[in-house]
Amino acid sequence: MANKPKIILGIDPGTLVMGYGLILAEGKKVSLIEMDVLKLSRHKDHYERLQAIHSSIAGLIIKHKPDCFAIEAPFFGKNVQSMLKLGRAQGVAIATAMHAGLAVTEYSPKKVKQSVTGNGNADKEQVWLMLQRILKISDKPAYYDATDALAVAVCHFYQDSNPLAGLTKSKGWEQFLAQHPERIVR
């Protein structure tokens, strides 16, 4: 990550409660700007919820002027209708960020947990405890959706500031063997 300070907006998509977290990244240090949730359950109509997601994220972007947008990928559940609604909520959030000109990055829940705690199977309490240490915060939020969104933003900071992140990955054994024929034992 360059020396220029960056504001990262992290989103934990949801259809009833959507979490958001904003952090300021300066060099190798991060600090909390804001974290909270958008309560969507008061809207009975699903389309009203999507409008509320759009309006709220657009408002956060106008207010904080983030440099990048990170969102958690939905996990695969058994209820197809819930997955469809969650995908729509995520799509609206992504489209709102892209419309504002932000680069969008998506992370799996396992990747977020791995980046923040070192354990891809960590529970929400473990993630929160690590976020408290990293960001030096004490107030426990009412919803883990807010801390999940904050974790997405911190994950993006770690991925973005990783000097190895930009290196190209090997294309597999075929490429390796083509580049090193002397290593083939016949």
Is residue 72 annotated as involved in ligand binding?
yes
The one catalytic residue in 36, 145, 148, 160 is 145
145 catalytic, yes or no?
A: yes
- With 0-12 / 13-18 / 19 or more C-beta atoms within 10 angstroms meaning exposed / middle / buried, residue 80 is exposed
Is residue 125 annotated as involved in ligand binding?
no
The answer for residues whose C-beta is within 8 angstroms of residue 135's C-beta and 6 or more apart is 23, 30, 31, 32, 150, 154
The one catalytic residue in 12, 36, 148, 160 is 12
148 catalytic, yes or no?
A: no
Q: Which two tokens stand for residue 55?
A: 């309006």
45 catalytic, yes or no?
A: no
The one catalytic residue in 36, 45, 72, 182 is 72
List, as one string, the DSSP characters of 4-72: S-EEEEEEE--SSEEEEEEEEEETTEEEEEEEEEEE-TT--SHHHHHHHHHHHHHHHHHHH--SEEEEE
Look at residues 24, 28, 31, 33 and name the one whose alpha carbon lies nearest to residue 2. Answer: 28
Is residue 67 annotated as involved in ligand binding?
no
Max CA pair span of the chain: 70
Q: Please, how many CA atoms are within 13 Å of residue 8, restricted to the half-sphere of its CB?
A: 30
User: Annotated binding site, which residues?
Assistant: 12, 72, 145
Active site amino acids: 12, 72, 145
Annotated binding site for Mg(2+): 12, 72, 145
